[in-house]
Amino acid sequence: MSQTMRESKPYAVTSVSSRGREHSEHFPRNVDPYAIDRQRVLHSAAFRRLEYKTQVFVISEHDHFRTRMTHTLEVASVARRLCVALQVNGAVGELIALTHDLGHPPFGHAGEVTLAELMVHHGGFEHNAQSLRVVEYLEHPYPAFRGLNMTHEVRESLAKHCTLYDSPGSHPLADGTQAPIEGQIANLADRIAYDCHDLEDAIGAGLLEEADLCEVDLWTNAAEPVRKAHAHLSLAAVRRPILDRLEAKLLGDVVAEARRRIAAVKVASIDDVRNCGQPVVAFSPDMEPRIAGLESFLLERVYRHHRLIRMDDKARRFITELFNAYVVERGMLPPRFHRRIDDQGLHRVICDYIAGMTDRFCQDEYKRLFEPFERM
Ligand code: MG
């Protein structure tokens, strides 16, 4: 029997145990509710815009760096693998991964930090919270309700991974309990995917040499057998097999640790997962400091590289100046955003508008508003 055919564990999310949708809708019988959710995410404007949003490296510089879209697809793939290994619902893990960055603003982390600063006295900004806002409110493809009316388990997973909702009561779905296991898996899959692909893109961008990478023990361990077999090849020629080994190591660690935790606390149902008091999906205590070492290496050598700081600073100025210009003259907002101001507040509406922009749209809008000879 193939691995995908193995029976699911009793704590997996299933359509039978789903808490359903906020607005009742009629679907043909035997249609999997998570397949409907997946289709709604793929059809959303927010999903299509991920293609033109920066992950780490500005997308206009090279066509082969990760974008927010290809990052999302890699997270979905890692989530699916973890779900299969842990015998839980791979379709749900993948769906949460496809949804997790829908609210990410343009220009990557710099965009998020800038909006958070601009919104500090107006309810804050955090991209996980914004992803939930996209699926609950901002997308509006059906006249009967706002949002995508997604299943409870997807919205719950987004709410429970959001620092803005850490204080109880700030979102009804963030009640202090844990996310379903598929949501926890998507969260770890995000981390595994970006740790590996940011290394690959940084090597591709010429930011890292092999000597730099030898500071990271996870890299050195993964590279050793590959380098033994291919001593004379360039780093570019061997980075993929090394990263495959690194990724497999991280996946194996998460699977073993999750199995250990599930057995230790005798998890037997989805509510046991919710009420466990801590995530069941996590890196092992041995792996956590090694991952932290890799991530602080990425922070120092990649995210704080002078080429990236120059880009971040430019993005900060774009976004801040656009934001302030709309605050001064709200009449410049498109009518569908302008109409929401009474209900949502000016700053929130501006934040929603900018968070939804692609890098390209944001740059074009800046030119239209601030360059005197640009057409409006
Ligand atoms: Mg992500």
The pLDDT of residue 107 is above 80: yes
CA of 74 to the centre of ligand 1 (A): 9
Of 140, 136, 186, 197, residue with least CA distance to 161: 186
Indicate whether this model's pTM tops 0.85. Answer: yes
pLDDT of residue 1: 42
What does the mean pLDDT of the chain come to? 93
CA of 84 to the centre of ligand 1 (A): 20
CA of 65 to the centre of ligand 1 (A): 15
Residue 55: other Cβ atoms inside 10 A: 24
Which are the contacts of 294, defined by CB distance < 8 A and separation ≥ 6? 195, 216, 218, 219
Q: Residue 352 sits in a domain of what CATH number? A: 1.10.3210.10
For residue 19, being part of any structural domain is answered with no
Confidence of residue 376 (pLDDT cuts 50, 70, 90): confident
CA of 85 to the centre of ligand 1 (A): 21
CA of 190 to the centre of ligand 1 (A): 5
For residue 38, being part of any structural domain is answered with yes
Q: How far apart are CA 105 and CA 111, in angstroms?
A: 6
CA of 274 to the centre of ligand 1 (A): 22
Instruction: Give the mean model confidence (pLDDT) for residues 109-125.
Output: 95
CA of 55 to the centre of ligand 1 (A): 8
Instruction: Give the mean model confidence (pLDDT) for residues 216-225.
Output: 96
Instruction: Give the mean model confidence (pLDDT) for residues 197-203.
Output: 93
CA of 302 to the centre of ligand 1 (A): 17
pLDDT of residue 55: 84
CA of 370 to the centre of ligand 1 (A): 32
CA of 47 to the centre of ligand 1 (A): 13
CA of 76 to the centre of ligand 1 (A): 10
CA of 286 to the centre of ligand 1 (A): 24
CB 359 within 8 Å of CB 60: yes
pLDDT of residue 60: 63
For residue 5, being part of any structural domain is answered with no
Each residue of 253-291: pLDDT tens digit?
Answer: 999 999 999 999 999 999 999 999 999 999 999 999 999
Q: How far apart are CA 293 and CA 335, in angstroms?
A: 48
CB 198 within 8 Å of CB 239: no
pLDDT of residue 2: 47
Instruction: Give the mean model confidence (pLDDT) for residues 295-306.
Output: 91
**Angle between helices 346-356 and 306-328 in degrees, nearest 10:** 140
CA of 72 to the centre of ligand 1 (A): 6
Instruction: Give the mean model confidence (pLDDT) for residues 319-347.
Output: 96
The answer to whether the Cα torsion of 200, 248, 41, 132 is positive or negative is negative
Cα distances (Å, whole numbers) of residue 222 to 134, 194, 238: 39, 17, 11
For residue 366, being part of any structural domain is answered with yes
For residue 13, being part of any structural domain is answered with no
% of the chain surpassing 70 pLDDT: 97
pLDDT of residue 59: 64
The residue segments making up the domain with residue 231 are 32-370
pLDDT of residue 3: 47
For residue 119, being part of any structural domain is answered with yes
Confidence of residue 171 (pLDDT cuts 50, 70, 90): confident
CA of 297 to the centre of ligand 1 (A): 19
For residue 376, being part of any structural domain is answered with no
pLDDT of residue 168: 61
CB 343 within 8 Å of CB 118: no
Q: Name the token pair of 364.
A: 């074009």
pLDDT of residue 54: 83
Instruction: Give the mean model confidence (pLDDT) for residues 114-121.
Output: 96
CA of 191 to the centre of ligand 1 (A): 7
CA of 44 to the centre of ligand 1 (A): 17
Each residue of 141-154: pLDDT tens digit?
Answer: 999 999 999 999 99
For residue 239, being part of any structural domain is answered with yes
CA of 206 to the centre of ligand 1 (A): 23
Most confident of the ranges 171-180, 207-216, 241-250, 358-367: 241-250
Instruction: Give the mean model confidence (pLDDT) for residues 349-365.
Output: 95
Q: Name the token pair of 353.
A: 């508008």
| Longest Cα separation, the chain | 67
Question: How many folded domains does the chain comprise?
Answer: 1
Each residue of 17-56: pLDDT tens digit?
Answer: 899 999 999 999 889 999 999 999 999 999 999 999 988 8
